[in-house]
Amino acid sequence: MMFDKKFPLVTFIDTQESLNQLVEQLKQSNMIALDTEFVRTRTYYAQLGLIQVYNGDVLALIDPVSGINLTEFWGLLKNENILKVLHSASEDLEVFAHYGDVMPTPYFDSQIGAGFAKMGHGLGYANLVHQLLGIELDKGESRTDWIKRPLSDKQLTYAANDVFYLYHLFPMLKQKLEEFGRWDWALEESANMCQGRLDAIDYDNAYLKVKNGFQLSQIQLAYLKPIAKWRLKTAVKKDIAVGFIIKDHALIALAKSKATTFAQLSSVKELNEHEKRKFSKHLLSNLQNADLENLPQKIDVIAFRPDYKQSFKTVKSKLVSIAENNEVPIEIFASKKYIHDFLSWYWSDNKGNNPKLLVGWRGMLALSTLSSLEL
């Protein structure tokens, strides 16, 4: 095919007045293509550098670094009358949650859509543009420091491309999905990506995400719990990735040591000297306040069950067959996590919410097969 759409004038939005005007224009849209550019190195949260949006008439690059108030724009993302189209948007959703406390609704992810449209799993944006529009994109600016100003014309063009072509390929992708009867599947799976992202941070259960916590006894977990909570709170407050405060293996060593004095803490070799100097008081305070009267439950790792590997293999084999018969990428249909969650649910005598494999479009394909299994 020959793509002949003229590239529109790009508007750089860095004043409150221009942003307010843009939002009013976008409110009249049925669909907008959306993207963000950000930087993430040592920070807990991604640093938002640019927001790109295109509704077929107006292509705007919004500059959050300028300090403009984005409240009205975030409100636009909740407008039920406007479909928000993004590509591979997991990290964009993190940005929306942190900066706007919002999820785009309704929302369509073109990478998910491409998978359902039998174009391939995990398809990159440039590949999708090439397949549908025949355009070769220059991705040379993908490592740009989007916080630094001014941005070059080449960088701005790169950013604008991400929504210009997305807007124009969307109708073609939607048509493919409708022909396959999978448009609703793509919307459902896109919505699944948004689930839980606006939940409050669960500081109390931070210890459950510390690697190898399952190795610890209940008493050791009681010591791990307060220091994991302190680390996460510190990371959020200082906007530093948790691993750049204290590594997981050091937290595990501290919990095993049950250190409650400076001498005991100093003997924990997994803590480096910088960490000991900077954090000893905080760590000791939390370790000394470990609640030994109400011990956490030992972390149950079902993967250690003697029948886990064979059961996992059995379930996966059934699901691979279903995925192949329906030409759905197994990576979308049944990730390792989804199979693991199904087995956890199955062995808990079906307690709690039904696992993902039994609901929605997945349930339509897999429910009868999985319901008949005996593991």
From the list 107, 158, 207, 223, the catalytic residue is 158
- Does residue 341 have an active-site annotation? no
The DSSP output letter for 350 is S
From the list 54, 162, 207, 338, the catalytic residue is 162
**Residue at 230: amino acid letter:** W
Distances (CA, A) of 177 to 44, 119, 249, 285, 364: 37, 11, 46, 57, 17
Contact (Cβ atoms closer than 8 angstroms) between residue 59 and residue 164:
yes
- Does residue 374 have an active-site annotation? no
Q: How far apart are CA 69 and CA 301, in angstroms?
A: 46
- Does residue 270 have an active-site annotation? no
From the list 54, 63, 92, 346, the catalytic residue is 92
The DSSP output letter for 107 is E
Q: How far apart are CA 196 and CA 90, in angstroms?
A: 12
- Does residue 204 have an active-site annotation? no
Inter-helix orientation angle 248-257/273-288, to 10°: 50
From the list 35, 63, 109, 189, the catalytic residue is 35
Does 106 sit behind a cis peptide bond, omega within 30 degrees of 0 on the bond before it? yes
- Does residue 162 have an active-site annotation? yes
Does 150 sit behind a cis peptide bond, omega within 30 degrees of 0 on the bond before it? yes
| CB neighbour list of residue 77: distance below 8 Å, 6 or more residues apart | 34, 84, 96, 100, 102, 103, 104, 105
Helices then strands, counting H and E runs in the chain, come out as 15, 6
From the list 37, 63, 109, 189, the catalytic residue is 37
Give me the active site residues, please.
35, 37, 92, 158, 162
